[in-house]
């Protein structure tokens, strides 16, 4: 089998990568999409206070941005969870493990093999 050249690989690549992530407690899969580096940088900036990255806020913003089939900023969601914005709603509507699972899945399909390495990198 011939090895694909770099140009062909990029020209045939689909950047609209999506994946279903099971949320066992709710009996559903949430579909999440890959996010680009510019979006990651913006979310990192939003979750940074001074020189400290708020990891919980970062994860919530990543989920709110990448979730395809549910808008955590929907008025009904915000009202139900008494949330101020989509990121706050993620933190109130999902359990800690669910947030970690979704964040990891999003980062992996976005090309980051290790979420912890990404968070450490964002801190520096």
Place of tokens 């950047």: 15
pTM across the whole model: 0.83
Place of tokens 């992996």: 108
Residue 7 pLDDT class (50, 70, 90 cuts): confident
Domain 17-123 in this protein, CATH class: alpha beta
Q: Is 103 within 8 Å of 115 (Cβ atoms)?
A: yes
- All residues at 6 or more sequence positions from 96 whose CB lies less than 8 Å from its CB, including other chains: none
- All residues at 6 or more sequence positions from 4 whose CB lies less than 8 Å from its CB, including other chains: none
Q: What phi, psi does 54 have (nearest 5°)?
A: -85, 100
Q: Which residue has the higher pLDDT, 64 or 5?
A: 64
Average pLDDT of the chain is 90
Residue 5 pLDDT class (50, 70, 90 cuts): confident
Residue ranges per structural domain of the chain = 17-123
| 3-state per-residue secondary structure call for 81-124 | CCCCCHHHHHHHHCCHHHHHHHHHHHHHHCCCCCHHHHHHHHHC
Q: Could you report the per-residue pLDDT of 26-85, keeping only the tens digit for each?
A: 999 999 999 999 999 999 999 999 999 999 999 999 999 999 999 999 999 999 999 999
Residue 10 pLDDT class (50, 70, 90 cuts): confident
Q: Is the pLDDT of residue 123 over 80?
A: no
């Amino acid at each position: 089998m011939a090895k694909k050249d770099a140009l062909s690989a990029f020209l045939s690549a689909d950047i609209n990568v999506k994946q279903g992530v099971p949320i066992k407690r709710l009996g559903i899969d949430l579909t999440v999409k890959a996010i680009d580096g510019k979006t990651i940088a913006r979310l990192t900036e939003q979750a940074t206070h001074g020189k400290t990255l708020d990891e919980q806020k970062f994860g919530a913003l990543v989920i709110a941005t990448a979730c395809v089939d549910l808008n955590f900023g929907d008025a009904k969601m915000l009202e139900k969870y008494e949330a101020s914005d989509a990121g706050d709603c993620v933190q109130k509507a999902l359990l800690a493990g669910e947030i970690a699972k979704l964040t990891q899945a999003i980062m992996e399909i976005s090309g980051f093999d290790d979420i912890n390495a990404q968070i450490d990198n964002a801190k520096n």
